[in-house]
Every structure is written in structure tokens, then in C-alpha cells.
Amino acid sequence: MQGEEVSRLMIATAIDGKPATRGRRKENALAQLIILQPEVAGTNCESVIAATSSLLEMSGVDNRIARISDLAGSDLTNKTIISFSELHRPLLSTLGATELETLKRITQDSAGLLWITRGANRTHSELAMFQDLARTLR
């Protein structure tokens, strides 16, 4: 793994400019959590996703596993997304029009997005494309 980036963390928080409602708590964003798996998931990826889902369930967080193509036309408002879509294979460089529109809605409408990728090096730089997209979206 020499030369391969081991980890990188980027955290960005959007501040809602709307005034808080009196006496009402905002709906818990984790109450509606979606785990995105790759369109073609390998055994290792499936086991990581299953373990993540199981740990969330044990913590009291209901979740469902889906592919980005499954979310076309879905209401993503107030949903929190954990994406493993680029864990082993690039997604952004291969997106079709429908998936790109879904990704756009995820970044605009969801309550939050955690995008998990591998560290990228020169031979796998397409796995780091979301980091640049995230910088642009901030």
C-alpha cells in the first residue's frame, strides 16, 4: 500500500437559516437512514455493509440497504445517506443521467450524506472524485 492514501476526513455542516420551531423537536434524521451499496457489490463490500447495518440496528437506528439506481424517483427529504457506492469501484466516472440526477437530489435534499471511499493513488484516482465534488458542494 505504499503511496496509497490511507485515510482522509472531510466534515462539512450546513446551517439551516430558518428559525427553530417553538416547542417542537426536529425529526431525528437517523430515523430514516439509507445505506447505499455499489451497483455490483463484492463479497467483502457486502459484509462491510451488512455489519454496518447490523450495528446501526443494534443501536436502535432503522435502516435500509439500496443501490443508487433504486432511489430514482424516491423522496430523499430528511433521509440520511451512508454511501459505500465507491468502496471498490468508481461510481462518479460511470454515472448515467438517471443516477446523476439521483446523486444531485441526494446532495440537495437529504438530511446528511456520509460518502465512504478507499484512499486513492495515481492508479485509482477515479475513486477520489467525490472528494473534489464535496469541496465544490460546500
Residue 25 pLDDT class (50, 70, 90 cuts): very low
Lowest-confidence pick of 21-30, 39-48, 59-68: 21-30
Residue 86 domain-assigned (yes or no): yes
Other CB atoms within 10 Å distance of the CB of residue 48: 17
Residue 55 domain-assigned (yes or no): yes
Could you tell me the residue range of the domain that residue 85 belongs to? 29-137
Residue 64 domain-assigned (yes or no): yes
Tell me the pLDDT tens digit for each residue of 113-134.
898 877 655 566 666 666 656 6
Per the structure, how many domains does the chain have? 1
* More confident position, 127 or 47: 47
Residue 74 domain-assigned (yes or no): yes
Look up cell 482522509; give the residue.
Answer: 8
Residue 94 domain-assigned (yes or no): yes
State the average pLDDT over residues 32-43: 85
Residue 124 domain-assigned (yes or no): yes
Residue 92 domain-assigned (yes or no): yes
Render the burial of 81-108: b for 16+ CB within 10 Å, e for the rest: bbbbbbbbbbbbeeeeeebeebbebbbe
Residue 95 domain-assigned (yes or no): yes
Is pTM beyond 0.85? Reply is no
CATH code of the domain in which 54 resides: 3.40.50
Tell me the pLDDT tens digit for each residue of 49-108.
999 999 999 988 999 999 999 999 899 998 999 999 887 777 777 788 898 899 889 988
